[in-house]
Every structure is written in C-alpha cells, then in structure tokens.
Amino acid sequence: MKTVEQKPKYSLNEEQEKKLILREYRALLRALKDKIKPGDKDILRRAFEMAADAHSSMRRKSGEPYILHPIAVAKICVEEIGLGVRSTVCALLHDTVEDTDITLQDIEREFGSEIARIVDGLTKISNVIDSSASQQAENFKKILLTLTDDPRVILIKLADRLNNMRTLDSMKREKQLKIASETVYIFAPLAHRMGLYSIKTELEDLAMKYLEPDTYKEIAKKLAETKRDRTRYINEFIKPIKEKLEKNKFDFEIYGRPKNIHSIWNKMKKKGVTFEEVYDLFAIRIILNSPQEREKEDCWKVYSLITDEYTPSIERLRDWVSNPKSNGYEALHTTVMGPRGKWVEVQIRTKRMNEIAEKGLAAHWKYKEGSANENRFDKWFQQIREVLYNQDADSVDFLQDFKMSFLTEEIYIYTPKGDIKMLPVGSTALDFAFSIHTAIGAKTIGAKVNHKLVPISYKLRSGDQVEIITSNKQTPSEDWLSFVVTAKAKAKVKEALKEEKKKVADEGRYTIQRKLEGMGVSVQQANLDELVQFYKLHSNLELFYQVAIKNIDLKELKEFKVIGDRIEYPRPVKIVQENKIESHTPAQNNNKQDTELIIFGESSDKIMYHLANCCKPIPGDDVFGFITTGKGLAIHRTNCPNAPKLLANYGHRIVKTKWAKNKEISFLTGVRIIGMDDVGVVSKITSLISAELKINIAALTIEASEGLFEGNIKVYVHDKEELDELVNRLKDLDGIESVERYDTEDLPAK
C-alpha cells in the first residue's frame, strides 16, 4: 500500500528544476526500454518537448513545474498499467489542449490522427454547461464515448487520477473533498472494472485518507502495530503448504498480502465488527509458473493440496478460472480455517493470470490470441455504446446508472439454449429480457427460472437458466423503473414511457394554449418556462402531461400579471433571502471563494441552513455545506452516505463550512449499545448518561434476546467531543460489547 506524505515546501532554482525534469524524463525512457523500437525515441522526444514548452510557465499547487505531472502520468501508464510508446506520447500531451495554446490540429499534424483522437478523449469539457447537471458527469460521458473506440483513453485517465490523488496534499480542503469523492464514486470502481486491482485499492485508500482522515489513521496505526504478529502467523500458515507444493514439484511463489485500509473499513461497517474482529486482514497468494494449457488443472491441484491441510468454507469458494470475470480476471479464491481458529483467504493464480490481475486491460490484450474469453471486453464495450448513444439521459442519472450497470460485480445467466449472458448483481428477469432484445423486454409478462414460473421483478442469481414469457398486449409501465437495474433496461423503459406521455401531453398543450390566448398572450417558451417554474416541474412535457391528467387545473393563472406578450407571477419576498444564500456559492461569487461559513456563529442569522437528516451532523464533525434548490444550505458530514454523490456530481454547489463553539445549543444524535443482558445494566447506562455526564436522554429502547441486549439511545449533545466521551465511557462499563454512533432519518428536530 502506498501512502502520500506531506511534502516540504517546494524550493528549487531554475537550474535545479531543469535537472529534475530531465532526470524524470530519463527515468520514463528507462521504464520504456523494452518497448522502444527504432524511431520511437524521436517521437517521444518531440512529445516531451512539445509538452514541456507548452507548460513552461505553469506550476502545480505544490509549486513544482507542471511538466512533472504529465511525466508522472506517463510513468504510471508504463510501469503500473503496462502501456507502450503511443500511450506514453498521449500521456505526455494529455493536458496540452485543455490548458495551453496547442490545438488538436497541432497534435494531429505532428503525431497523426490516432494520438489526436486519444488526446481529444482525455481533454476535459471546457464550455459552460447547464448548471443543473454535473460538469464531471458530462466530462465522464465524453470520455466513455471515446473509451468504446480506444480503451487507452480510460487507462491514461486513471493514471492521471492516480497521480492527482498522490499529490492531493497541496490542494485546498474543499478541492480535496471533491476530488476524493469523485475518485471513490467513479474512478476506483472503474479501475476495478478494468482489472487494475492495485490501482483501485490505492485510489480507495487515498480517497479515504481525505474523506475520513481519523478512521484512516486509526486503521493504519493498528495495521502497523499488528504487522509482526501477522507476519509470524502468515509464516506458520504457509509452511505446510510450501512443503506440499515443493513435494509435488510445482514452480511457485507464495506470500501474504495485507488487505487495504478501505476494504478493512468497509468490512468493519458492513459486519458491525471492530478491527480486531475482521478475520481476513490479509490474503495468501500463490502464483504458479504453469504452461497455459495446464493452468486450470494445476490451479485445482493446488486447491486440493490446500484443502487437504486446512478445512475450506464451501460458500466462500470463487471459481474465476472456469468462468473468468468480464474484465479478464482469472483466479481461484477459497477461505480456509487456519491455525488458532482464524479464517484465511487464499488466492491461486498463474503468472499469466497475475499479470492480468495487476495490469488489467493492457495485459489482457497481450494474451488475447487464442483466448476463449477474448470477446468479453468487446461485449462490455458494445453494451456501453448502446447506453451512451441514448442522448436524452440526464448526465447525473446516467452516471448513477453507469455505476450500477457496468462497475459492479456480474452474474452469469443462461438462455434456454445454454448461451451465457453477463448481467450486474441484482439484475431481474426483466433486465435479462432487455439484454436479449428491446422488443422482448417491452413485451415481457413473466419468466421461467430453472423451469419455475416467476414474476418479472424476480432477482436472478448466478447460474440461473431463464426463459422469457411475452405478450403482444404488454406495454412498459412506470413501476418497472423501481426494479430494473441495467442502464439499457432503464433507458428503454424511460423511452417507451416518454412516447406514451407525449401522446397524453398533447391534450395538455391545447388546454394551456386556449388559457393563454384567453389572457391575450401566446404560447411562447418564456411563458411556458414561467409556468414550469411556478408549478415546480422540470420540463414542458411534464407540465403538459400534468395538465392533461388533471393534476394541475391552471386556476392560479388569474394571479399572473400580463406584461405585453408575457405572463409573470408576482415574486414572494422570501426569494430575496434565497438570493442571499446563492451569493455564498463559490461558483457565483469569486471574491468570496475563501470565505468560511461559520455555522451557529455570528453569521448564522444571515444564512438559511438546516442539518441534513441523512447524517445528522453535530459540532466537531467534519462537514461541508451543500446549496439545495429552494431549501437553502444543507450541512452534511463528509462521511455521509450521500456525500460522494453530492461532492462528485455537484462541486459547484459545495460551500466550505466550519463550526463555531456554542455550548448553548444541543443536537440530537443516537448511540447503539450491544452487551450482556445482566441485572441492572439499564440502570448503569442511564445513571452514567444522566447523573454522571449530565446528558439529556430523548428516547431509549432496549431489546434482549438469548443473553444479549441491544439498546438504541437518542441523546442531546453539544458537540462531537461530548459524544466521543459518552461512547468511550459506555465502552468501559462491564459487559458492554460495542458502542457506536448511529444516525436515523426519523430523529425529531429540537
């Protein structure tokens, strides 16, 4: 695991800088030496000189010359992803079109159309787009369009993101939050999907370092403290396996590898356990040097030797040797009961499989010839193409659907003829129907899964054989959107519903036209915009539709003023207040970009705000402000479940926020306690909270079962410091197993 250390303040003179840049460039050439063919050095030198010249006056936030960034990105492409000379040229030039005077035409003239096309895919969208959509989402959509033509775009983009994350220390806090959130929301899952596991884990760890710094430091500290014990245990576990492998004449490597901090934290949250209770803190990896025709046989032989020594957990066997993942990943994973009653994950793969696991897509093409799975990536790209060319989708919705459809684990479903379809986990029979053909999906009324009749919403499991039942009378309905998960199914259902809506909406349009003409004005866009805004809808179509189905009767039209050929609704006074909030948006007021909104301080009377229900922040929590539409400023914790989506998609609506000390205001929060069901336990807990700590209890529920109790207590605290003290004191009580903070959306406001 790599970590980023705080760099000392940058201080090099011009001569030292030139030497540093040259040293880094030469290191890049050394990394490439096995891939350089005659003539390549010349093209690399030209790309380096063009980039160095274009970025010569630019600096990074750390003070370093900007050219060090493209060189570092190129080095990641070569050393950590395994890309070649042409990708290196693209990486060196990846920021020139966006940030300098160089145009795509200049690059095409100098390096040809292939490199120009990749650089274009890497160039961020610079034109101003609709503020209601996310620039990041739009940009991502554009990159993905290029990805389907040339996957090197996304690989270089991931290298770019990795270097940005490694050098994030010099950025402002709000920028760190936005970039880290984008990383964990989209780029880490994408690296995983492209098979770049080591890059994925490093991106997750670095994002966590900025999003949840305290937890990150705590787990890193505990990993360091337990390193010696883990090493001793790994050696004890490996010894008998090593002997068996040597006895059976295998050529192999075997070692233990700690899980990354982010995945340990995820396991702690998911299972509700402490660091000490996470059973697989490390995985044992066995890498075999086997010829390709004997790989499968050797992997299973090794599995057999391991399970002779240690008892396996049957439900935790993963066979990606017989059926590789769509990103090319192949391995056998099993979890076995090791010495001293500890579960240990063992991964078995060959050298070829290991290279694909580390270098992902780039290694996949190296071994593509003769592979039975060579078209899996191509199928994946084809599915993405279908979704991308559905241009109606809102960018943020698109990003969410893309995550669900293409960045999750997949399951394998069989057609009645035995063909395999890959679908994301959680897919339904209806998703399967749409994956076969849009026309079949639209007419689906049911399905047979393993010869048993099931509804269209039935969730499929890997290995199911599915037969779709259709009817010509069936049409898509609104409730289908609540259970389909694939982007293709969602897009096609929305398309069908929109067509149906348009037919109904025509009647509403005529109604509005008659009403407006009766007022002496025409059906022009400005008047429709006024009505859409007044009724708080999101489009003309929605307005026409709501009028047509009699949800809106237009009786409020009599309150509108007629000014020439325009209608206008008198603005309420509260709009002035809302504008006051908007002025604090960094995107709208560049002079106040560094202003910190102090919550519950002197300026609190000037700003409308509320504490988000989804995470219930209290003073002392790391928070940010988010400008909502119509409800003022919402204060969220940076580790709120919704934070990654908000920060990644709506960076322009984020406001830097901090707490002011105020001991007069109390905040409602909750603690969950699990412990031994003993006489007087409730009395001990309430006595500590009320009598000793003088904290007000708002509600208390205790449920006991089979010798254990679970208590949920809602309390009023002044700040995080007070809550932390409460949690620590409760943990010290006899018989208490665990105490954790929880946040409920139904907590009443004080």
Q: At what angle do helices 152-166 and 113-122 cross, to 10 degrees?
A: 50
Q: What is the model's pTM?
A: 0.64
Residues 301 and 360 in one domain: yes
Question: What is the helix, strand, coil percentage profile of the chain, to 5?
Answer: 50, 15, 30
Q: How far apart are CA 518 and CA 513, in angstroms?
A: 8
Identify whether 450 is part of a domain: no
Q: Residue 382: its pLDDT value, please?
A: 62
The verdict on whether 99 is a catalytic residue reads yes
Q: Which residue has the tokens 């994301």?
A: 424
Q: How far apart are CA 214 and CA 73, in angstroms?
A: 29
Residue type, 544: F
Residues 579 and 642 in one domain: yes
CATH number at 155 reads: 1.10.3210.10
Identify whether 361 is part of a domain: yes
Q: Which residue has the tokens 């709009």?
A: 575
Rg of the chain over all Cα atoms, to the nearest angstrom:
30
> Which residues on neighbouring strands pair with residue 566, listed in sequence order?
563
What are the helix and strand counts (H, E) for the chain? 29, 23
Residues 183 and 38 in one domain: yes
Look at phi and psi of residue 125 and say left if phi exceeds 0, alpha if psi is from -120 to 50, else beta: beta
Identify whether 415 is part of a domain: no
Identify whether 598 is part of a domain: yes
Residues 274 and 347 in one domain: yes
**Would you tell me how many other CB atoms lie within 10 Å of the CB of residue 188?**
26
Residues 589 and 559 in one domain: no
Q: Residue 380: its pLDDT value, please?
A: 59
Q: Which of 17, 24, 40, 99 is catalytic?
A: 99
CATH number at 224 reads: 3.30.460.10
Cα-based angle 446, 449, 450 (whole degrees, multiple of 5): 150
Identify whether 470 is part of a domain: no
638 burial class (0-12, 13-18, 19+ CB within 10 angstroms)?
buried
CA distance to 59, 508, 540, 558, 675, per residue, from 512 (Å): 57, 6, 11, 13, 64
Residues 313 and 182 in one domain: no
Task: Give the domain-ending residue among 325, 347, 366.
Answer: 366
Supply 532's token pair.
Answer: 């859409």
Residues 73 and 194 in one domain: yes
Residue type, 615: C
Q: Residue 592: its pLDDT value, please?
A: 39
Task: Give the domain-ending residue among 179, 211, 243.
Answer: 211
Give all strands (DSSP E) within 331-395, no chain letters.
332-337, 343-350
Identify whether 424 is part of a domain: no
Tally of domains within the chain? 5
Nearest in space to 640 (alpha carbons), one of 660, 614, 665, 621? 614
Residues 41 and 187 in one domain: yes
The verdict on whether 596 is a catalytic residue reads no
Coil/strand/helix, residue 714: strand
590 burial class (0-12, 13-18, 19+ CB within 10 angstroms)?
exposed
Strands 657-659 vs 597-599: parallel, antiparallel or unpaired: parallel
Q: Residue 680: its pLDDT value, please?
A: 80
Q: Residue 589: its pLDDT value, please?
A: 39
Residues 298 and 347 in one domain: yes
Q: How far apart are CA 244 and CA 255, in angstroms?
A: 15
345 burial class (0-12, 13-18, 19+ CB within 10 angstroms)?
buried
Identify whether 396 is part of a domain: no
Task: Give the domain-ending residue among 336, 366, 396.
Answer: 366
Q: How far apart are CA 58 and CA 87, in angstroms?
A: 23
Q: Residue 440: its pLDDT value, please?
A: 92
Q: How far apart are CA 355 and CA 364, in angstroms?
A: 9
Q: Which domain holds residue 502?
A: 495-568
Q: Which of 49, 53, 98, 297 is catalytic?
A: 98
Residues 118 and 59 in one domain: yes
Coil/strand/helix, residue 61: coil
Burial string for 497-520 (b: 16+ CB within 10 Å, else e) reads: beeebeeebeebbebbeebbeeee
Residues 190 and 295 in one domain: no
Coil/strand/helix, residue 434: helix
Identify whether 261 is part of a domain: yes
Q: Residue 9: its pLDDT value, please?
A: 52
Extract the residue ranges of the chain whose pLDDT is less than 70. 1-11, 124-150, 279-280, 326-327, 361-408, 570-607, 630, 661-664, 743-750
CATH number at 729 reads: 3.30.70.260
DSSP tag of 660: P
Residues 630 and 505 in one domain: no
Burial string for 592-621 (b: 16+ CB within 10 Å, else e) reads: eeeebbebbeeeeeebebebbebbbbbbbb
Distance between alpha carbon 108 and the CA centroid of its chain, in Å? 34
Find out whether 658 and 625 touch, Cβ atoms under 8 Å. no
Nearest in space to 544 (alpha carbons), one of 581, 512, 589, 575? 512
Nearest in space to 514 (alpha carbons), one of 486, 474, 544, 536? 544
Coil/strand/helix, residue 610: strand
Residue type, 384: I
Nearest in space to 741 (alpha carbons), one of 668, 634, 651? 668
